[in-house]
Amino acid sequence: MSAWFALAWLNSLRILRALTGAGALGLLLCALFSGLQVSAASSNPATKPPACVNCHAGITASYSHAAMQHALEPPGSDPVLEAHPNLSVQQGKYLYIVQTRNGHSTYSVSDGTNTISVPIRWIFGQHSQTFVLERDGDMFESMVSYFQLEQRLGPTPGDGNIVPRDLSEALGRKITVWEALQCFSCHATDASKGEKLELDKLRPGVGCERCHVGADQHMADAVRGNFSSLPKSLRALNAEDAGDFCGQCHRTWDATVRNHFHGPSNVRFQPYRLENSRCYVGNDPRISCLACHDPHEQDNHNLISYDAKCLACHGKTAASSTSAVKSCPVSKTNCASCHMPKVSLPGGHVVFTDHFIRIARPGDPYPD
Protein backbone atom coordinates (compact mmCIF):
# COMPACT_ATOMS: atom_id res chain seq x y z
CA MET A 1 0.00 0.00 0.00
CA SER A 2 1.52 3.32 -1.03
CA ALA A 3 1.98 6.17 1.40
CA TRP A 4 -0.62 8.41 -0.16
CA PHE A 5 -3.18 5.65 0.02
CA ALA A 6 -2.37 5.10 3.68
CA LEU A 7 -2.85 8.79 4.34
CA ALA A 8 -6.15 8.93 2.52
CA TRP A 9 -7.26 5.87 4.37
CA LEU A 10 -6.31 7.47 7.66
CA ASN A 11 -8.30 10.59 6.87
CA SER A 12 -11.29 8.48 6.01
CA LEU A 13 -10.89 6.70 9.29
CA ARG A 14 -10.87 9.95 11.24
CA ILE A 15 -14.07 11.12 9.60
CA LEU A 16 -15.81 7.85 10.01
CA ARG A 17 -14.72 7.50 13.63
CA ALA A 18 -16.40 10.80 14.32
CA LEU A 19 -19.61 9.37 13.01
CA THR A 20 -19.67 5.92 14.51
CA GLY A 21 -18.35 3.88 17.42
CA ALA A 22 -14.67 3.15 17.01
CA GLY A 23 -14.81 -0.52 17.97
CA ALA A 24 -17.52 -1.47 15.54
CA LEU A 25 -15.89 0.68 12.90
CA GLY A 26 -12.58 -1.09 13.32
CA LEU A 27 -14.19 -4.42 12.63
CA LEU A 28 -16.15 -3.03 9.71
CA LEU A 29 -13.11 -1.49 8.08
CA CYS A 30 -10.95 -4.50 8.63
CA ALA A 31 -13.59 -6.71 7.14
CA LEU A 32 -13.89 -4.36 4.20
CA PHE A 33 -10.17 -4.09 3.82
CA SER A 34 -9.59 -7.80 4.19
CA GLY A 35 -12.00 -8.26 1.34
CA LEU A 36 -9.85 -5.96 -0.76
CA GLN A 37 -6.79 -7.94 0.20
CA VAL A 38 -8.32 -11.24 -0.70
CA SER A 39 -9.46 -10.01 -4.06
CA ALA A 40 -6.08 -8.39 -4.70
CA ALA A 41 -4.29 -11.54 -3.68
CA SER A 42 -6.44 -13.68 -5.90
CA SER A 43 -5.71 -11.50 -8.89
CA ASN A 44 -1.99 -11.28 -8.16
CA PRO A 45 -0.39 -14.35 -6.61
CA ALA A 46 2.85 -12.44 -6.04
CA THR A 47 1.17 -10.03 -3.60
CA LYS A 48 3.08 -9.63 -0.33
CA PRO A 49 1.71 -11.53 2.67
CA PRO A 50 -0.58 -9.53 4.94
CA ALA A 51 1.03 -7.10 7.33
CA CYS A 52 -0.20 -5.08 10.29
CA VAL A 53 0.09 -1.92 8.21
CA ASN A 54 -2.70 -3.08 5.96
CA CYS A 55 -5.31 -2.35 8.59
CA HIS A 56 -3.38 -0.36 11.17
CA ALA A 57 -1.70 2.15 8.93
CA GLY A 58 -1.78 5.05 11.36
CA ILE A 59 -0.28 3.17 14.26
CA THR A 60 2.27 1.50 12.05
CA ALA A 61 3.33 4.84 10.64
CA SER A 62 3.76 6.43 14.03
CA TYR A 63 5.41 3.33 15.45
CA SER A 64 8.02 3.43 12.75
CA HIS A 65 9.53 6.39 14.64
CA ALA A 66 9.12 4.95 18.12
CA ALA A 67 12.17 4.01 20.16
CA MET A 68 11.16 0.39 20.56
CA GLN A 69 10.96 -0.08 16.83
CA HIS A 70 14.59 1.00 16.74
CA ALA A 71 15.80 -1.04 19.68
CA LEU A 72 17.99 -2.83 17.17
CA GLU A 73 19.18 -1.13 14.03
CA PRO A 74 19.95 -3.19 10.98
CA PRO A 75 23.51 -2.88 9.75
CA GLY A 76 23.87 -0.76 6.67
CA SER A 77 21.02 1.60 7.38
CA ASP A 78 21.87 3.04 10.76
CA PRO A 79 21.60 6.83 10.59
CA VAL A 80 23.91 7.29 13.57
CA LEU A 81 26.83 5.46 12.02
CA GLU A 82 26.08 6.95 8.62
CA ALA A 83 26.31 10.40 10.20
CA HIS A 84 29.51 9.49 12.05
CA PRO A 85 31.47 7.35 9.59
CA ASN A 86 34.80 7.68 11.41
CA LEU A 87 34.63 7.05 15.13
CA SER A 88 37.60 6.17 17.26
CA VAL A 89 38.64 6.07 20.89
CA GLN A 90 41.73 5.00 22.76
CA GLN A 91 40.94 2.78 25.76
CA GLY A 92 44.06 1.96 27.71
CA LYS A 93 46.48 0.47 25.25
CA TYR A 94 43.83 -0.36 22.68
CA LEU A 95 42.58 1.82 19.87
CA TYR A 96 38.99 1.24 18.77
CA ILE A 97 37.73 2.37 15.38
CA VAL A 98 34.19 2.15 14.04
CA GLN A 99 34.22 2.96 10.36
CA THR A 100 31.25 3.13 8.00
CA ARG A 101 31.70 2.96 4.25
CA ASN A 102 29.04 2.32 1.63
CA GLY A 103 26.53 1.19 4.18
CA HIS A 104 28.90 -1.25 5.87
CA SER A 105 30.23 -0.64 9.36
CA THR A 106 33.39 -2.25 10.68
CA TYR A 107 34.56 -2.45 14.27
CA SER A 108 38.31 -2.68 14.79
CA VAL A 109 40.56 -2.92 17.78
CA SER A 110 44.30 -2.49 17.61
CA ASP A 111 47.13 -2.75 20.12
CA GLY A 112 49.49 -0.84 17.88
CA THR A 113 50.94 -4.00 16.41
CA ASN A 114 48.00 -6.16 15.51
CA THR A 115 44.42 -5.37 14.61
CA ILE A 116 41.20 -7.35 14.75
CA SER A 117 38.41 -6.14 12.48
CA VAL A 118 34.90 -7.54 12.31
CA PRO A 119 31.79 -6.33 10.55
CA ILE A 120 29.16 -4.87 12.83
CA ARG A 121 26.24 -7.23 12.55
CA TRP A 122 23.85 -5.96 15.17
CA ILE A 123 23.47 -2.43 16.49
CA PHE A 124 21.63 -2.20 19.79
CA GLY A 125 19.93 1.10 20.52
CA GLN A 126 18.67 3.99 18.50
CA HIS A 127 20.64 6.95 19.81
CA SER A 128 23.34 5.55 22.05
CA GLN A 129 24.46 2.28 20.57
CA THR A 130 26.27 -0.89 21.57
CA PHE A 131 27.37 -3.37 18.96
CA VAL A 132 27.09 -7.12 19.07
CA LEU A 133 29.88 -8.75 17.14
CA GLU A 134 30.56 -12.24 15.95
CA ARG A 135 33.98 -13.84 15.73
CA ASP A 136 34.86 -17.50 15.28
CA GLY A 137 31.32 -18.52 16.13
CA ASP A 138 31.24 -16.62 19.41
CA MET A 139 29.31 -13.46 20.14
CA PHE A 140 30.74 -10.43 21.84
CA GLU A 141 29.35 -7.23 23.29
CA SER A 142 31.54 -4.44 21.95
CA MET A 143 33.92 -3.07 24.54
CA VAL A 144 33.08 0.46 23.40
CA SER A 145 29.74 1.99 22.54
CA TYR A 146 28.60 5.13 20.80
CA PHE A 147 27.10 7.78 23.07
CA GLN A 148 24.75 10.35 21.69
CA LEU A 149 25.38 12.84 24.48
CA GLU A 150 29.03 13.27 23.56
CA GLN A 151 28.70 11.98 20.00
CA ARG A 152 31.69 9.74 20.48
CA LEU A 153 32.73 6.28 21.53
CA GLY A 154 33.26 5.38 25.18
CA PRO A 155 33.40 2.30 27.38
CA THR A 156 30.26 0.19 27.18
CA PRO A 157 28.26 0.57 30.41
CA GLY A 158 29.01 -2.32 32.70
CA ASP A 159 32.21 -3.24 30.91
CA GLY A 160 34.29 -0.28 32.06
CA ASN A 161 36.15 -2.30 34.68
CA ILE A 162 37.21 -5.08 32.34
CA VAL A 163 40.96 -5.14 31.77
CA PRO A 164 41.58 -7.18 28.61
CA ARG A 165 44.54 -9.51 28.78
CA ASP A 166 45.10 -9.51 25.05
CA LEU A 167 43.79 -8.14 21.79
CA SER A 168 41.16 -10.86 21.49
CA GLU A 169 39.71 -9.97 24.87
CA ALA A 170 39.89 -6.30 23.99
CA LEU A 171 37.44 -6.85 21.14
CA GLY A 172 34.53 -7.27 23.48
CA ARG A 173 32.92 -9.18 26.31
CA LYS A 174 32.05 -12.67 25.23
CA ILE A 175 28.38 -13.37 25.76
CA THR A 176 26.77 -16.73 26.32
CA VAL A 177 23.98 -18.06 24.17
CA TRP A 178 21.63 -17.46 27.09
CA GLU A 179 22.68 -13.85 27.40
CA ALA A 180 22.31 -13.36 23.67
CA LEU A 181 18.81 -14.79 23.86
CA GLN A 182 17.88 -12.23 26.48
CA CYS A 183 19.43 -9.35 24.54
CA PHE A 184 17.78 -10.21 21.25
CA SER A 185 14.42 -11.07 22.78
CA CYS A 186 14.02 -7.47 23.93
CA HIS A 187 15.70 -5.72 21.03
CA ALA A 188 14.39 -7.73 18.10
CA THR A 189 11.49 -9.84 16.94
CA ASP A 190 11.58 -13.47 15.88
CA ALA A 191 15.21 -13.76 16.94
CA SER A 192 14.60 -17.15 18.48
CA LYS A 193 12.43 -20.15 18.17
CA GLY A 194 11.71 -21.52 21.58
CA GLU A 195 15.03 -20.95 23.24
CA LYS A 196 17.15 -21.30 20.12
CA LEU A 197 18.63 -18.22 18.51
CA GLU A 198 17.66 -17.81 14.87
CA LEU A 199 19.42 -14.61 14.03
CA ASP A 200 19.08 -15.06 10.30
CA LYS A 201 15.33 -14.70 10.75
CA LEU A 202 15.21 -11.80 13.16
CA ARG A 203 13.46 -8.56 12.44
CA PRO A 204 15.21 -5.56 14.01
CA GLY A 205 13.38 -3.78 16.78
CA VAL A 206 10.32 -4.64 18.79
CA GLY A 207 7.78 -5.67 16.17
CA CYS A 208 4.03 -5.78 16.61
CA GLU A 209 4.00 -9.51 17.43
CA ARG A 210 6.45 -9.04 20.28
CA CYS A 211 3.79 -7.29 22.37
CA HIS A 212 0.61 -8.29 20.56
CA VAL A 213 0.97 -12.02 20.89
CA GLY A 214 -1.15 -13.72 18.29
CA ALA A 215 -0.89 -10.89 15.78
CA ASP A 216 0.39 -13.25 13.11
CA GLN A 217 -2.58 -15.56 13.55
CA HIS A 218 -4.91 -12.58 13.63
CA MET A 219 -3.52 -11.34 10.29
CA ALA A 220 -3.81 -14.75 8.72
CA ASP A 221 -7.41 -15.01 9.91
CA ALA A 222 -8.28 -11.42 9.07
CA VAL A 223 -7.48 -11.81 5.39
CA ARG A 224 -10.08 -14.58 5.40
CA GLY A 225 -12.55 -12.30 7.10
CA ASN A 226 -12.24 -13.99 10.48
CA PHE A 227 -11.80 -11.53 13.33
CA SER A 228 -12.34 -13.92 16.21
CA SER A 229 -8.63 -14.33 16.94
CA LEU A 230 -7.85 -10.74 17.85
CA PRO A 231 -4.80 -10.41 20.09
CA LYS A 232 -5.62 -9.55 23.67
CA SER A 233 -6.04 -5.82 24.10
CA LEU A 234 -3.28 -4.28 26.15
CA ARG A 235 -5.15 -1.04 26.55
CA ALA A 236 -7.14 -2.51 29.42
CA LEU A 237 -4.13 -3.49 31.52
CA ASN A 238 -4.24 -2.05 35.00
CA ALA A 239 -1.16 -0.29 36.34
CA GLU A 240 0.17 -3.43 37.99
CA ASP A 241 -0.25 -5.56 34.89
CA ALA A 242 1.16 -2.83 32.65
CA GLY A 243 4.24 -2.64 34.87
CA ASP A 244 4.65 -6.39 34.62
CA PHE A 245 4.10 -6.33 30.88
CA CYS A 246 6.50 -3.51 30.07
CA GLY A 247 8.80 -4.91 32.75
CA GLN A 248 9.43 -7.97 30.60
CA CYS A 249 12.12 -5.81 29.05
CA HIS A 250 12.25 -2.74 31.27
CA ARG A 251 12.43 -4.96 34.41
CA THR A 252 9.57 -5.48 36.78
CA TRP A 253 9.54 -4.34 40.36
CA ASP A 254 9.61 -7.97 41.47
CA ALA A 255 12.58 -8.88 39.28
CA THR A 256 14.58 -5.87 40.40
CA VAL A 257 13.97 -6.56 44.08
CA ARG A 258 14.47 -10.29 43.74
CA ASN A 259 17.76 -9.84 41.92
CA HIS A 260 19.02 -7.15 44.29
CA PHE A 261 19.72 -4.64 41.53
CA HIS A 262 20.96 -1.70 43.55
CA GLY A 263 22.43 1.67 42.74
CA PRO A 264 21.81 4.35 40.11
CA SER A 265 21.89 1.79 37.30
CA ASN A 266 18.43 0.66 38.31
CA VAL A 267 17.08 4.01 37.13
CA ARG A 268 16.78 2.18 33.79
CA PHE A 269 14.15 -0.09 35.31
CA GLN A 270 11.22 2.28 35.06
CA PRO A 271 8.46 -0.04 36.33
CA TYR A 272 10.52 -0.69 39.45
CA ARG A 273 11.18 2.98 40.03
CA LEU A 274 7.57 3.97 39.39
CA GLU A 275 6.20 1.36 41.76
CA ASN A 276 8.39 2.68 44.57
CA SER A 277 6.50 5.96 44.38
CA ARG A 278 4.16 6.76 47.23
CA CYS A 279 1.43 7.66 44.76
CA TYR A 280 1.58 4.34 42.94
CA VAL A 281 -1.22 1.85 43.29
CA GLY A 282 -1.86 -1.02 40.96
CA ASN A 283 -5.53 -0.53 40.25
CA ASP A 284 -5.33 3.14 39.30
CA PRO A 285 -4.99 3.65 35.55
CA ARG A 286 -3.73 7.20 36.11
CA ILE A 287 -0.36 5.84 37.26
CA SER A 288 0.04 3.12 34.67
CA CYS A 289 2.96 3.18 32.20
CA LEU A 290 0.35 3.63 29.51
CA ALA A 291 -1.13 6.70 31.17
CA CYS A 292 1.92 8.71 30.15
CA HIS A 293 3.48 6.71 27.34
CA ASP A 294 2.03 5.64 24.05
CA PRO A 295 4.42 2.89 23.00
CA HIS A 296 3.44 3.45 19.38
CA GLU A 297 4.84 6.95 19.38
CA GLN A 298 8.16 8.62 19.80
CA ASP A 299 9.13 9.56 23.34
CA ASN A 300 7.84 12.96 24.24
CA HIS A 301 10.63 14.97 25.83
CA ASN A 302 8.48 18.00 26.53
CA LEU A 303 8.07 17.64 30.28
CA ILE A 304 5.23 20.14 30.45
CA SER A 305 3.14 17.83 28.34
CA TYR A 306 3.08 15.38 31.24
CA ASP A 307 1.64 17.89 33.70
CA ALA A 308 -1.92 16.85 32.95
CA LYS A 309 -1.05 13.31 33.98
CA CYS A 310 0.17 14.46 37.39
CA LEU A 311 -2.73 16.83 37.83
CA ALA A 312 -5.16 14.04 37.10
CA CYS A 313 -4.54 13.13 40.74
CA HIS A 314 -2.90 16.19 42.22
CA GLY A 315 -5.08 18.86 40.66
CA LYS A 316 -7.74 20.55 42.70
CA THR A 317 -10.54 18.96 40.78
CA ALA A 318 -8.97 15.55 40.51
CA ALA A 319 -11.22 12.69 41.36
CA SER A 320 -8.70 11.10 43.66
CA SER A 321 -9.40 7.85 45.41
CA THR A 322 -8.34 9.26 48.77
CA SER A 323 -8.48 12.70 50.28
CA ALA A 324 -4.81 12.45 51.21
CA VAL A 325 -3.57 13.37 47.73
CA LYS A 326 -1.64 16.59 48.02
CA SER A 327 -1.28 19.32 45.48
CA CYS A 328 2.13 20.87 44.92
CA PRO A 329 2.65 24.15 46.81
CA VAL A 330 5.44 25.21 44.45
CA SER A 331 4.09 24.86 40.95
CA LYS A 332 1.35 23.41 38.85
CA THR A 333 3.52 23.04 35.83
CA ASN A 334 6.65 21.21 34.77
CA CYS A 335 6.05 18.69 37.58
CA ALA A 336 8.42 16.04 36.24
CA SER A 337 11.38 18.41 36.22
CA CYS A 338 11.37 18.39 40.05
CA HIS A 339 9.57 15.22 40.99
CA MET A 340 11.19 12.94 38.43
CA PRO A 341 14.79 14.12 38.37
CA LYS A 342 17.28 13.15 35.72
CA VAL A 343 19.89 10.60 36.72
CA SER A 344 23.16 9.99 34.93
CA LEU A 345 24.24 6.40 34.65
CA PRO A 346 27.64 5.64 36.15
CA GLY A 347 30.11 6.81 33.53
CA GLY A 348 27.87 9.74 32.74
CA HIS A 349 27.24 8.94 29.11
CA VAL A 350 23.51 8.40 29.39
CA VAL A 351 20.84 10.26 31.32
CA PHE A 352 17.54 8.71 32.36
CA THR A 353 14.40 10.16 33.86
CA ASP A 354 13.88 8.69 37.29
CA HIS A 355 10.36 7.31 37.40
CA PHE A 356 10.39 7.20 41.19
CA ILE A 357 8.01 10.12 41.71
CA ARG A 358 8.84 11.94 44.91
CA ILE A 359 9.84 15.15 46.56
CA ALA A 360 13.45 15.15 45.41
CA ARG A 361 15.75 17.61 47.09
CA PRO A 362 19.03 18.71 45.49
CA GLY A 363 21.95 16.79 46.93
CA ASP A 364 19.84 13.90 48.18
CA PRO A 365 21.54 10.55 47.60
CA TYR A 366 20.04 8.30 44.95
CA PRO A 367 17.18 6.49 46.68
CA ASP A 368 17.51 2.80 45.98
Partner 1 sequence: MTANPVAKAFLILIVVAQFAVRGHAQQADPQFEALASRATEARNQQNIPLAIELYGETVAAKPDWAEGWFYIGLLQYSSNSFTAAIDAFNHFLKLQPDAGPALALRGLSEFETGAYDDALRDLEQGVKKRAAEEPRNEQIIRFHLSELLVRAGRFEEAVTQYDFFAAHHIKDPDLLVNLGLAGLRIQDLPQNIPLENRQFLETVGSAAYAYLSGDNEEARKQFDELFARNPATPNLHFFYGSLLYKNSPTLAIEQFRAEVEHSPGNVFAHAVLAFRLTIAGRYAEAKPEAEIALAADPDIEMAQIALGRALAETGDVKRTTEVLNKVLQKDPKNLEAHMGLADLYSRAGRREDAYRERMVCLGLAQ
The single-letter DSSP state of residue 287 is G
Contacts of residue 82, defined as CB under 8 A and 6 or more positions apart, other chains included, come to 100, 103
Rule CB under 8 A: is residue 359 a binding residue for partner 1? no
Written as one letter, the residue type at 30 is C
Rule CB under 8 A: is residue 282 a binding residue for partner 1? yes
Rule CB under 8 A: is residue 229 a binding residue for partner 1? no
Q: How far is the CB of 148 from partner 1 (least distance, A)?
A: 32
Q: 175 in helix, strand or coil?
A: strand
Q: How far is the CB of 244 from partner 1 (least distance, A)?
A: 6
| Rounded Cα distance, 275 and 273, in Å | 6
Q: How far is the CB of 282 from partner 1 (least distance, A)?
A: 3
Among 254, 295, 332, 338, binds partner 1 (CB under 8 A): 254
In Å, how far from its chain's centre is CA 278? 26
Written as one letter, the residue type at 196 is K
Among 67, 281, 290, 328, binds partner 1 (CB under 8 A): 281
Give 138's Cβ-side CA count (13 Å radius): 12
Nearest CB to partner 1, comparing residues 94 and 253: 253
| Rounded Cα distance, 323 and 25, in Å | 40
Nearest CB to partner 1, comparing residues 224 and 278: 278
Q: Give the interface segment with partner 1, choosing from 8-16, 137-145, 176-184, 199-207 (CB under 8 A).
A: 176-184
Within 134-163, the residues that bind partner 1 by CB under 8 A are none
Among 14, 260, 301, 316, binds partner 1 (CB under 8 A): 260
Rule CB under 8 A: is residue 195 a binding residue for partner 1? yes
Instruction: With CA atoms as reference, report the closest residue to 172 among 122, 103, 100.
Output: 122
Nearest CB to partner 1, comparing residues 201 and 278: 278
Rule CB under 8 A: is residue 193 a binding residue for partner 1? no
Contact 94, 147 (CB under 8 A): no
Contact 178, 185 (CB under 8 A): no
Contacts of residue 168, defined as CB under 8 A and 6 or more positions apart, other chains included, come to 116
Among 146, 147, 253, 306, binds partner 1 (CB under 8 A): 253
Rule CB under 8 A: is residue 295 a binding residue for partner 1? no
By rule CB under 8 A, what count of residues binds partner 1?
28
The single-letter DSSP state of residue 282 is T
Neighbours of 229 (CB within 10 A): 14
Rule CB under 8 A: is residue 178 a binding residue for partner 1? yes
Among 284, 293, 328, 345, binds partner 1 (CB under 8 A): 284
The single-letter DSSP state of residue 315 is S
Instruction: With CA atoms as reference, report the closest residue to 270 among 286, 296, 290.
Output: 290
Binding track, positions 321-350, relative to partner 1; x by CB under 8 A: xx----------------------------
For partner 1, the binding residues (CB under 8 A) are 176-178, 181, 194-195, 238-240, 244, 253-254, 257-258, 260, 262, 275-276, 278-284, 321-322, 368
